[in-house]
């Protein structure tokens, strides 16, 4: 029982900290609604250039996760940011990083581009920018 309470407390603390700094999780369907509602949203792809060439969201900005620290100035601070990767693992790290650096409206697409594809939503194919 003590382990359960400790685990639950740690889980609650982690969740509250991630939302306290301004990053929130959305599904690909919720992300599509955000994009439709706000044309100024920045779509930030944190995958590799190879992954980007295979498929990406139209109009997205490619900054691989490993480059985000040194290229953060390329992400506008005055617009909402939707971060995505393949399945949501890298993007959750990137979203938390942006929120910790003062970005106020940051969303992590928790099911990633795989979820986007599985929901039959449109993808762009082609070379990295």
What does the CA dihedral 69, 71, 72, 73 come to, rounded to 10 degrees?
150
Is 113 known to be catalytic? no
Question: Which one of 41, 85, 86, 92 is the catalytic residue?
Answer: 85
Longest CA pairwise span in the chain (Å): 53
Asked if 90 and 47 touch (Cβ cutoff 8 Å), the reply is: yes
Q: For residues 4 and 22, what is the distance between their CA atoms, to the nearest angstrom?
A: 28
Asked if 127 and 65 touch (Cβ cutoff 8 Å), the reply is: no
Residues labelled as active-site residues: 85
């Amino acid at each position: 029982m003590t382990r359960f309470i400790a685990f639950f407390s740690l889980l609650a603390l982690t969740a509250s900290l991630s939302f306290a700094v301004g990053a929130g999780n959305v599904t690909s369907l919720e992300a599509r609604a955000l994009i439709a509602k706000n044309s100024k949203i920045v779509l930030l792809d944190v995958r590799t250039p190879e992954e980007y060439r295979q498929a990406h969201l139209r109009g997205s900005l490619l900054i691989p996760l490993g480059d985000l620290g040194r290229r953060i100035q390329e992400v506008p601070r005055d617009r909402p940011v939707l971060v995505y990767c393949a399945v949501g693992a890298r993007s959750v790290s990137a979203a938390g990083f942006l929120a910790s650096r003062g970005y106020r409206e940051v969303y992590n697409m928790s099911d990633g581009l795989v979820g986007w594809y599985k929901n039959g939503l449109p993808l762009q194919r082609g070379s990295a920018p």
